Amino acid sequence: MGNLHEGHLSLIRKARALAGEGGLVLVTIFVNKTQFGPHEDFKKYPRTLKADLAHCRQLGVDIVFAPEDNAMYLDGHSTYVAEERLAKQMEGASRPTHFRGVTTVVAKLFNLTQPDIAVFGAKDWQQSAIISQMVDDLNYPIRIVIAPTVRERDGLAMSSRNRYLKPAERAEATVLIECIRLAKRLVRDSQAPLSAQTLKRRLGKQIASRHLAKLDYIEFFSPRTLEPAKRVGRGTHMALAVFFGKTRLIDNGRL
């Protein structure tokens, strides 16, 4: 959605490596209104197209497709693409219309740009799984590649929404990666799989110790199917969402 940071730029570099010097790398930039809820930050979401284009030129991007809103959604638009299984939990439970907007716009962008390979970031793990499912279900001849999450020096996952954080909130936002690291350590040191509910309570206390943090969810699941896990062991995936004031941040990791 633009406001490109090092996380996005890593996806462009990955795309170039996959395409080779003879291939074309195309970046789509579009702040998609249909994936925002009614009280979310669509209007204030950072739009920095001039700077984004400069980043793309510097990295040798061949094409930037940055359509206007009325080109993507005509008057009377009433057709949506909805994944019905993976999209119901985690982000889907907290933001009920979010993934319908994501799959709709990605399907439209795939139709318009016809890529051979599309690169997504692991930071939005559930989104990447849903896009992969959509590609399989709708017979798109596209290979989906998931690139690693890029983090700040203190471990906070890079996000355009990080700029919303006040200094005190930013200082506490590292609790997301701290929870992932704690869960990894507990799983590594345990002789047997751990109870998901017990682990959630332990991590919830970690988040509650931050005065400005408010937990939305912590979930443990299969990284491939997103099936919730009652017992947590090596290879289980973890995701969480935490509010800092009005800013909601997400992160995830393999345990």
Residues with catalytic function: 8
Tokens at residue 159, please? 């996000």
Between the CA atoms of 8, 9, 13 and 16, what dihedral angle is there, to the nearest 10 degrees?
A: 80
Contact 145, 126 (CB under 8 A): no
Looking up tokens 């991590």 gives 203
Annotate 80-99 with DSSP letters as a single string: -----SGGGSTHHHHSTTHH
In angstroms, the CA 177 to CA 108 distance is 34
User: Could you say which DSSP state residue 122 is in?
Assistant: G
| Beta partners for residue 251, in sequence order | 240
